[in-house]
Each structure stands twice: as structure tokens, then as C-alpha cells.
Amino acid sequence: MIEKIHHIGIAVHSLDEALKFYRDTFGLHVHAQDTVQDQGVKAALLTIGSSEIELLEPLSPESAVGRFLARKGEGLHHICFQTPDVDGDLQALKEKSVELVDQQPRRGIAGMICFLHPKASRGVLVELATPMEMYKAPE
């Protein structure tokens, strides 16, 4: 199921300001940057060793990340585990009655992704991701 920590998600008010810190201060490379409309965020992935940091700026205060920022302020938002088979893992979690946010994988900046509900993982928002270069759609 889990191969490694793919990334740690950090919610920020301003992606540009956060990039000034993580990219310009620490010298981290921006691997990808995109607007993910269905998640309501502008996101950037910065490489750090074999993992990444994902910076998330909400497109609106009503988005999930916008609501998170209003409640908790900037900071750690989620942890993402890389898996070779997000579809199969999601099905296995359903069979174990794990509480989920997503009932099927969807496209995200990290590849094909799904989220587990924090109630299922002791208060931590967990994301599973299969990078697009590894993803094979179910037949």
C-alpha cells in the first residue's frame, strides 16, 4: 500500500509569500505549480530529497483550505503517502469501513489522489497519491 511519504501539505494565505521563504530562503526547487479548480487551491510542490512540500493557497475563503486557514491559521494541513495503486487501496479501505473524504480517486497536483477523513486517522488528514507517471486506470 504505502511506499513513502510523498509530501507534507502546508496551508498558506499567500503562495507567493510562502515561495519566497521555502524556495528563496531554503533553496528548494519548485517541481510543479498549478491551480486545481476542483480543490479550490493554487498549489506548488517543492522538492526536498525524495519527498516534497506542497504549499496550498485557497482560491476563496469557502474552499476547504480557506476554511482550514480561518479555523487554524497557516500551518500543516495534511500528509500524503505515495502508493502504486490508489484505486486498489481506496477499494481496500472501503472494504475495511474506513471513513473517507473521496469515494473515488481524482486528479490532483501529486497525481491521482484521494483523502481519508481525519476521524479515520486520529485527527490527521491523510492523502494517498499515485503519481501520473505510475498511474494505470482500472480496467
Rounded Cα–Cα distance for residues 70 and 58 (Å): 11
Check whether 53 has a pLDDT greater than 80: yes
Q: Give the mean pLDDT of 11-15.
A: 98
Strands laid side by side in the 41-48 sheet: 29-36, 41-48, 51-58, 4-11, 75-82, 126-130, 111-116, 106-108
Q: Where are the domains of the chain?
A: 4-130
Residues 95-104 pLDDT 10s: 999 999 999 9
Q: In terms of CATH, what superfamily is 4-130?
A: 2,3-Dihydroxybiphenyl 1,2-Dioxygenase, domain 1 (3.10.180.10)
pTM for the structure as a whole: 0.93
Helix (H, G, I), strand (E, B) or coil at 98: coil
**d(Cα 24, Cα 31) in Å, to the nearest integer?**
14
**Coil vs helix vs strand at 94:** helix
- Gap between the Cα atoms of 97 and 82, Å rounded: 21
- Using one digit for the tens of pLDDT, what is the confidence trace for 97-139? 999 999 999 999 999 999 999 999 999 999 999 998 888 887 7
**Mean pLDDT of all residues in 45-70:** 96
What integer pLDDT is reported at residue 44 of this predicted model?
97
For residues 43 and 36, the answer to whether their CB atoms sit within 8 Å is yes
pLDDT at 1: 84
